[in-house]
Amino acid sequence: MGWTFTLHGGVAAGLGAVFLSPAALTWLPGTLPLPDASWWQAAIFATAFLTCVSALARLALTRAAKDVVWLAFRCLPGKVQMTLGALAVGGVALLVFSTQEETSLQSAEMKDGRYVAFDTTPHARGMVEISRHRYEDVLESDQRTTLAVPGLLCLGAAYAALTAGELRRADRAAAPADVT
């Protein structure tokens, strides 16, 4: 496998782990000291999107069938497979447990000294005032989702980049040598 595929897959897997770690930390008591500005959320999604699109483009350029892609992933070292699998299972579990919470509130913020959130209940949509404790719960839930989704996208990018590299290596090994 070429070094660019290894680097791309490693950076994507590292970003996935970096994004999933604080998402998991939101289950601990207290709130994470993340900035309230929306620029960091946009930066996280842009990074995950660009990493994922470039990895999918690399995988698409191999023009391999789905079953061959899975076989190529199975040819990667066991530690790589286990690490990506464990991170992906953890990220999916994090999202599933996060969405199972019985809440219709999102986008918590502080306005004029009051805590408000957007209520998505049918026939009652709009901003509602909430308690500080509820504000912290909604804020943590939003942070969890905001960090877990890009983390899973980056793990998918790592899978695609490393698999594309393995497919490229296999194609080069199977190509007939030019004999003169």
Name which residue leads in pLDDT, 101 or 83. Answer: 83
Can you give the pLDDT at residue 31? 67
The pLDDT of residue 158 is above 90: yes
- Tell me, yes or no, whether 112 lies in a domain: no
- Tell me, yes or no, whether 115 lies in a domain: no
**Which structural domain, as residue segments, surrounds residue 8?**
3-102+145-174
Query: Nearest Cα to 41, choosing from 31, 49, 53, 52?
Result: 49
> Number of structural domains, the chain?
1
Q: What is the pLDDT of residues 16-43, one digit of tens each?
A: 999 999 888 888 777 667 666 677 888 8
- Tell me, yes or no, whether 60 lies in a domain: yes
Q: What is the pLDDT of residues 53-85, one digit of tens each?
A: 999 999 999 888 888 888 888 888 999 999 999
- Tell me, yes or no, whether 137 lies in a domain: no
Find the mean pLDDT for residues 165-174.
84
Return the SS3 of 107: strand
- Tell me, yes or no, whether 57 lies in a domain: yes
Can you give the pLDDT at residue 12? 95
Query: Nearest Cα to 153, choosing from 2, 23, 29, 37?
Result: 23
Can you give the pLDDT at residue 122? 77
- Tell me, yes or no, whether 126 lies in a domain: no
Q: Is 18 left (phi over 0), alpha (psi -120 to 50) or beta?
A: alpha
Can you give the pLDDT at residue 179? 52
- Tell me, yes or no, whether 114 lies in a domain: no
pTM of the model: 0.82
Q: What is the pLDDT of residues 159-169, one digit of tens each?
A: 999 999 998 88
Name which residue leads in pLDDT, 87 or 128. Answer: 87
Can you give the pLDDT at residue 124? 72
- Tell me, yes or no, whether 41 lies in a domain: yes
